[in-house]
Structure 1
Amino acid sequence: MKLRLAQGTPCWVSLLTDDLAGARAFYGDLLGWSYSPGPAQLGDYVRAELDGEPVAGLGVSSAIGFPVQWTTYFAVDSADSAAQLVRECGGTVAVGPVQAERAGRMAIAADVSGAVFGLWQGEEHVGREAGPEPGGPAWAELLTSDAEGAAAFYGTVLGRAFRPGGEESALLVDGRPVAGIRHGAELRGHPPRWRIHFAVRDTALAVRRATELGGRVLVEPHDTARGRAARLADPQGGRFSVLEVLEPR
């Protein structure tokens, strides 16, 4: 069994959609994914793979009117203990903790402001750490109107420190940034949310292909501290970003 990722590390992303076949086709073409069956307990659910290694999950939402959305999961040593801390800190636990067969134990929660996130206690499936490989998760950031309160909440739930910054505070695991919290000037009436970025070789080409596949451009390609990014929506409305990751210097 692989070693579980350090607590607080974003380790998995999953999409709940009302059109699984359409989502599979869209992301498979855009990000180069193939698919394999996921835990039967999770219903109509598949794992997306790059070179045979799982990078994301796609499933069908059973809730009527539930928005199509990506969820970021954080590695925890104990899903039950972390879920209890969520409640004690004023958040809510919507699902679980439940056992996903032998893959691991999970919960889906929301912070004080309502931003949804997941907790993952990996067993046979430990997840995947964000990185620069094209097609895989590259970065996760929370967009919120209360960055200071969010840092206190996640710092307590995950047992990790935050490094304050001008535009973005960074969640630190073993001294390195693994996720960010950004003040939500871009919310414009939308609820706080975790945003997932997928690495691509060329942002402009990825944007062009996404629109050819029926997706929409929400924010045109622009330069960021982490590379050239664009904000997109898939044909079912699921929002995500693509990021042309800067090469380390």
Structure 2
Amino acid sequence: MTEQATRRTPGTPCWVSLMVHGLAATKQFYGGLFGWEYVPGPGQLGPYVRARLDGREVAGIGQLPPDRHLPTAWTTYLATDDADSTAELIRSCGGTVAVGPLDADDAGRVAICSDPLGAVFGIWQAAAHIGTRLTGVPGTPVWNELITRETSTVSKFYQVVFGHAAQAVVSADFDYLTLYAAGQPVCGLHGVGGALPHDRGAHWMTYFEVEDPDEAAACAAELGGHVVRSAHEGAGGRLATLADPEGAVFTVIRSDL
């Protein structure tokens, strides 16, 4: 198991969070699936909790206002040393800043953004809260991947805004780029062409480590979620794509990394 360092290289995924309509039920689902426990977090945008494993923070879940009838989805946050300047760069490169930048108590400074193809992500300038503090054990985020129509255009956006380097997976029928920060692989861009879901569009996918994806899929269904894609072997290990009771999609993987 690994406790993350106090500073994240800009462009590194550092946190994942989920805004839902039923906070209590969602806490129960992920607690049952991953063994999460919860503590209160910053409350500027409404009720919000941080999920913990072994006393260390791994993810966040917040309550949407009753009048916001929005679909639920996990949001990947990318680290920045200056949220305001990064937000300006996002705008100048064709992206959108929908919320912020704003202070989250003394935890840090945050903005919710989207890239030029509409995929939503967050930026996080850490202060007291550095983001995910634990990796390498079941129930923790292990990878983040942008599912988009094609990678060549949108990769330039992330490279300019966050300074990523990109390396292609060489395959005649697989459009995939790995993004690197400070020489380390930090996330992936997966171009799926016409297979992009019409009801979701481009989106970031969070992968959570589990011991057994088959068992995790069965557990998710028992807890009121459903299986989007059954467990199968992938390039990084055995994985399954699941949805929680409100429809937020995520992937579980027994990582071979």
Calculate the TM-score normalised by the size of structure 2. 0.92
Which residue of structure 1 aligns with residue 187 of structure 2? 179
Per the TM alignment, residue 123 of structure 1 is displaced from its structure 2 partner at its CA by: 0.7
Which residue of structure 2 aligns with residue 37 of structure 1? 40
Deviations 1:177-208 (A, max 9, x none): 11000002431423000000110011111011
Which residue of the other structure, out of 107, 115, 118, is the alignment partner of 1:114? 118
Which residue of structure 1 aligns with residue 77 of structure 2? 73
1:206 aligns with 2:197: no
Q: Provide closer, same or farther for how the CA distance between residues 129 and 74 of structure 1 changes in structure 2, counting only shifts above 3 A.
A: farther
Q: Secondary structure at the match of 1:41?
A: coil
Q: Provide closer, same or farther for how the CA distance between residues 26 and 35 of structure 1 changes in structure 2, counting only shifts above 3 A.
A: same
Deviations 1:64-87 (A, max 9, x none): 221111100000010001100110
Which residue of structure 2 aligns with residue 233 of structure 1? 243
Which residue of structure 2 aligns with residue 221 of structure 1? 231
Which residue of structure 2 aligns with residue 17 of structure 1? 20
- For residues 118-133 of structure 1, what are the structure 2 equivalents within 5 Å? 118-128=122-132, 131-133=135-137
Deviations 1:80-100 (A, max 9, x none): 011001100011000000000
Q: What CA distance in whole angstroms lies between the structure 1 residues aligned with 2:242 and 2:220?
A: 8
Per the TM alignment, residue 129 of structure 1 is displaced from its structure 2 partner at its CA by: 6.7
Unaligned runs of 5+ in 1: none
- For residues 118-157 of structure 1, what are the structure 2 equivalents within 5 Å? 118-128=122-132, 131-157=135-161
Q: Provide closer, same or farther for how the CA distance between residues 53 and 32 of structure 1 changes in structure 2, counting only shifts above 3 A.
A: same
Q: CA RMSD for the aligned pairs?
A: 1.4
Per the TM alignment, residue 42 of structure 1 is displaced from its structure 2 partner at its CA by: 3.1
Q: Identity, % of aligned pairs?
A: 46
Work out the number of aligned pairs and report it: 246
Q: What CA distance in whole angstroms lies between the structure 2 residues aligned with 1:209 and 1:192?
A: 28
Deviations 1:109-156 (A, max 9, x none): 000010000000001111127843110001100011131111100111
1:103 aligns with 2:111: no
- For residues 163-178 of structure 1, what are the structure 2 equivalents within 5 Å? 163-166=167-170, 167=174, 168-178=176-186
Q: What CA distance in whole angstroms lies between the structure 1 residues aligned with 2:180 and 2:103?
A: 28
Q: What CA distance in whole angstroms lies between the structure 1 residues aligned with 2:218 and 2:131?
A: 30
Which residue identity is paired with 2:104?
A
Which residue of structure 2 aligns with residue 57 of structure 1? 60
Calculate the TM-score normalised by the size of structure 1. 0.95
Moved over 6 A (4+): none
Q: What CA distance in whole angstroms lies between the structure 1 residues aligned with 2:90 and 2:121?
A: 11
Deviations 1:10-31 (A, max 9, x none): 0000001111111100001101
Q: What CA distance in whole angstroms lies between the structure 2 residues aligned with 1:227 and 1:163?
A: 20
Quick check: 2-11 or 215-224, which moved more? 2-11
Q: What CA distance in whole angstroms lies between the structure 2 residues aligned with 1:119 and 1:155?
A: 15
Q: What CA distance in whole angstroms lies between the structure 1 residues aligned with 2:47 and 2:20?
A: 11
Q: What CA distance in whole angstroms lies between the structure 2 residues aligned with 1:130 and 1:94?
A: 29
Q: What CA distance in whole angstroms lies between the structure 2 residues aligned with 1:157 and 1:106?
A: 16
Per the TM alignment, residue 41 of structure 1 is displaced from its structure 2 partner at its CA by: 1.8
